Amino acid sequence: MHFGEHLTIDGYGGDKKKLNDKGLVLGCLNELPDLLGMRKITEPQVVVFPGNDSKDPGGVSGVVLIAESHISIHTFPERRFLTADVYTCMDDMDTKFILDYFTKEFGLQDIEQNFLKRGTRYPQHNID
C-alpha cells in the first residue's frame, strides 16, 4: 500500500517553438488531467518567466491542482529542455501514456524519467 505515485520527466531536444508556446502549456494542463481520469480543482496557472541567471534562461511554467494532487510543466526553450511532474494519489499511473503525450506535444527527442511511490508508510486509518 502507498499513498500516491509521482512521475518526474526531464525532456531533451524538444521543439523550441513548442517549448516557448504558453498556449500549448496551458492546453496540456487543461487536457491531461481529463485524459488521465483526474479532476481539476483549479484552473491551470501559466506564466512566461524571463529567466534569472545563466542556468535558467527562462521559459514557460505552469501548474494545475487536481483533486488527486498536481501536474506541473517548466520549459526552457533556449536549452530545448522541459521538466514535468505528474503526482497523484491514484494507483496504476499509465506512465507510458504520459511519456508519449509529452514526447508528442513538445517534440522531445529523449526523456529521463523517475517513478516514485509516495507515502509507503501512509497510515491505514485516521490517527486523531
CB-CB contact of 122 with 3 (8 Å): yes
Residue tagged active-site, from 28, 69, 70, 72:
69
Identity (one letter) of the amino acid at 91? D
Per the CB < 8 A criterion, the answer to whether 88 and 4 are in contact is yes
Judge contact between 84 and 71, C-beta under 8 A: yes
Q: Which of 6, 61, 72, 74 does the annotation list as catalytic?
A: 74
89 classed as catalytic: yes
CA 40 to chain centre: 14
Instruction: Mark whether 28 is an active-site residue.
Output: no
Active site members: 69, 74, 89
